[in-house]
Amino acid sequence: MGEQYVWDLRDLDASQGALAGGKGANLGELARIEGVHVPRGFCVTTGAYRRTVLERTPGVGALIEELTALAGPERAREPGHPEAVRELSARLRRAVEAAVLPGELVEAVTEAVGRLGPDTPWAVRSSATAEDLPTASFAGQQDSYLNVVGVPAVLRDVRRCWASLFTERAVAYRLRGGIDERAVRMAVVVQEMVVPDAAGVLFTADPVSGNRRVSTVDAGFGLAEALVSGAVTPDVLRVRDGRVVERTVAVKRQALRARSGGGTEAVPVPAERQERPVLSDRQAVRLAALGRRIEERFGRPQDIEWCLVGEDGFRVVQSRPITTLFPVPVRKDAEGNTDGTRVYLSVGHQQMMTDAMRPLGLSVWQLTAMAPMHEAGSRLFVDATRQLAAGERRTAFLDLVGRGDPLVRDALETLLERPDVVLPAAPDAPAAPPGRRRASDALATDPAIVTELVARSRASVAALRRDIGARRGSELFDFLAGAFEEHKRVLADPLSMRAVMAGMEATWWLSDQLRAWLGEENAVDTLTLSAPGNVTSEMGLALLDVADAIRPYPEVVAYLEGVGDAPDAAFLDGLAALGGGPAARRALDGYLELYGARCVGEIDLTRPRWSERPGTLVPLILDHVRNFGPGAAAQRFEDGLRRAREKERDVLARLRDLPDGERKAEETAAAIERVRTFIGYREYPKYGIVRRYAVYREALLAEAALLVERGVLDAVEDAYQLTFEEFREAVRSGTVDRGLIAERAEAFRAHRALTPPRVLTSDGEAVSGAYRRADVPDGALTGLPVSAGTVEGRARVLLDLTRARDLAPGDILVTAFTDPSWSPLFVGVAGLVTEVGGLMTHGAVIAREYGLPAVVGVDGATRRIRDGQRVRVHGTAGYVELLP
């Protein structure tokens, strides 16, 4: 018996996506849900596509191979890439539409159509294997045909659906999503055409805010295609907890109807109905309840296309996951199950690294963090509900958060003002006694404290490296579990925490008092220039010293110019035979000894370190060779120190001229000394964390390599898809769930495309803050001022440090975020704009150290500013002007 090319929808279920495509499999599953009515129909399987198009249509396979070769971000940046995609897509469509259908397929479709009679109208819809998936909906990427009558027309539109797999928009969507063209197959769903009174789309979660408790209904008269395509404006209703909480009634001037004899046509809506609601409250609530039943069956929020025939005859013609929602934090503890709304803050925004992380990186960060953290969307969040639930605690917490990132504070205040947000009850923290001193006030302003803390950190890392030794297998994991506890003890060192807070509190005091006494908004930015002991700013200047060691040797410079993107450490061996090569190698080795544990996204254990891929630094070194002269590092530090001292003298002199000026000047001088003593140390605990992480990573990679040798893993990187405990068990048992690894790799790919919110609720609502300022010029991009000054220059929009090349003096860096690994780039630019950041985050601190005008927290900066565009950065006022 040959392959079955046509299946009744009732014989399919959600597990058969490979056979019926995403839409067909989902419709089969929908038909099995009690109370859900799905129009009758059948599915032309992916096997029919394979045999007709891939096996029997000449030239298709070769064209798909050519299209596959165009995938990837590197190819997408090449000149002529869009044109090549357009041409190949058009050739594929023409070939598929001309395909000759096998006789047995024609017979099967003829029989299926005949079951409902030759004059039955049908809806013919694409159903690709890469469509309606949990991680990619592909909504609107392939074609559908309505009111199709007769076998010849159905067969024609089956071919047209196959061909729509290669529309330019569908191909571009797959290329962006990293989906292999060779693996995609197309089925076609053929359903009895429903001629509805009304139709629309139901989202079982709010597609804008993400709130899982709110269903959103879009409704219009006639067929839903007019609404889905944007041809008409629908009524919009929001349903929460069994009642309509919001309704917008649109003026509906036309509707799409089935045309006699086949096809569709737009018809005018009678004037008396144009402003009439499409659905009553009762119908909307019933539809939302139907959606909840479907959501429960599929296990995730759904985007559902519905039709209404008569008063209560709801039909469901499609259901697919809403793939744009940010996931809800995963909680395994009892506190996460309490009544009320829980509020989570993004760890990535605090750490200036908002990229998705793999399970091993997430779990190690959780195991070494001082506070419980919860995963969502391959990112981590902390639960701030307790801090927000009571008056005194809430006020102090909002003040602290607001100093760091005003957008977070505004988002929280906006959320807390809403009557529908009820936090779980929590006891209030006792109010601080009047006049109580801050914890750091008793700490002497003594540089020896910082010296002692740095020595402690170095000793701790040295002990870790010594004690981990050559441990392998379960012994290694037992050791690491203990090392993680020591890691937390080091982080929680009371003296270290007091030193960090001393620098921050002195910064805040200076900002507040100098604003009040002198009207100075950003004096502290200049006062902290070239503060001693800042390991991150020293790292940036040290790369200038490396450039000094390389600049005198043209042969070394030429060799480095020939190095490819981010090569591993093997290229360093080639320096030995070059004139000046040994000196260059010593300089690079010395730099990597101090800073080789760092990398972009360094809080993620799975990211390769600079010591593994030192070629990452080569473009920066070459830019420094071209753009700076010898001794630039020392000169920049001395210039910053001179400016800081000049500013200190100026501020103190002006204060002395004020009433009670001697006291004010004395207090300010003490605060300046305190901030310069401690502010540099703020960067050191992170440096210690990253150095410990490099030791953990080296040991775990060696263990993963052993699992590859034993055939347990296919590749070392597969270990990244396991949590620490799962990795430990794989080593113990010698087995691993390969399906789980593949599933997590796919989830990670999908999560990378999501933008994590600063604030997220347990209902899944992503809450955005606003600056609420009226002093920003029209068209300017608003952000948070973190480093004073104004600079105009060419914007260099960079999302990847390895793409940082050919920077010119005066360029302005525009990027999503800057963790400490970006600091070497700061010495070569004139200003900074980021999408993420706060007053005391790493990028802001280093920008002030280097005297770079900087604005952070600029929403969508990397989209709204073009690479090469001229911009003016107002680091004092906190906005960016886009210049002609």
Take residue 636 and report the two structure tokens written for it: 């920049």
Got the DSSP string for 66-125?
A: HHHTT-SHHHHTSTTHHHHHHHHHHHHHHHHHTPPPPHHHHHHHHHHHHTT-TT-EEEEE
Give the integer Cα–Cα distance in Å for 308 and 731: 56
HEC-encoded secondary structure of 265-291: EEEECCHHHCCCCCCCHHHHHHHHHHH
Alpha-carbon span 609 to 588, nearest angstrom = 14
Handedness of CA 572, 577, 581, 582 (dihedral sign): positive
Number of continuous H segments (helices) and E segments (strands) in the chain: 31, 26
Q: How far apart are the first and last CA of the chain?
A: 70
For tokens 């005066």, what's the residue? 810
Give the separation between CA 364 and CA 351, rounded to whole angstroms: 15
DSSP state of 50: I
The Cα 460–Cα 367 span in angstroms is 18
For 415, the token pair is: 């959320």
Helix 81-97 × helix 168-177 angle, to 10°: 120
Q: Please report, for residues 22, 164, 262, 607, 806, the alpha-carbon distance to residue 130 in angstroms, rounded to integers and kept in the order given.
A: 7, 13, 29, 29, 39
**Two tokens at 589?**
């080795």
Residue 311 buriedness (CB in 10 A; 0-12 / 13-18 / 19+): exposed
**Residues 669, 661 contacting (CB under 8 angstroms):** no
Q: Are 812 and 793 in contact (CB under 8 A)?
A: yes
CA-based angle 799:802:803, to the nearest 5?
60
- Specify whether the CB–CB gap between 169 and 142 falls below 8 A: no
- Give the span between the Cα atoms of 135 and 669, in whole angstroms: 57
Cβ count near 304 (within 10 Å): 27
Alpha helices (H) along 614-752: 618-627, 632-656, 661-678, 684-709, 724-733, 738-752
DSSP label of 571: G
Residues in the chain: 884
Q: C-alpha distances in angstroms, 754 versus 147, 324, 344, 660? A: 37, 7, 17, 55
Interatomic CA distance for residues 729 and 703, integer angstroms: 12
874 is an active site residue:
no
Identify whether the C-beta of residue 309 lies closer than 8 Å to the C-beta of residue 295.
no
> What one-character DSSP code corresponds to residue 222?
B
Please, what is the angle between helix 447-468 and helix 684-709, to 10°?
A: 10
Q: Which amino acid belongs to residue 632? A: A
Query: Of 348, 350, 289, 295, whose CA–CA distance to 314 is shortest?
Result: 289
DSSP 27-41: HHHHTTSTT-----E
374 - beta bridge partners?
381
* Separation between Cα atoms, residue 680 and residue 535, nearest integer Å: 7
In whole angstroms, give the CA distance from residue 857 to residue 847.
14
Q: Which of 349, 487, 624, 842 is catalytic?
A: 842
* Strand, helix or coil for residue 841: coil
Alpha-carbon distance of 881 to 833, in angstroms, equals: 11
Kindly list the catalytic residues.
842
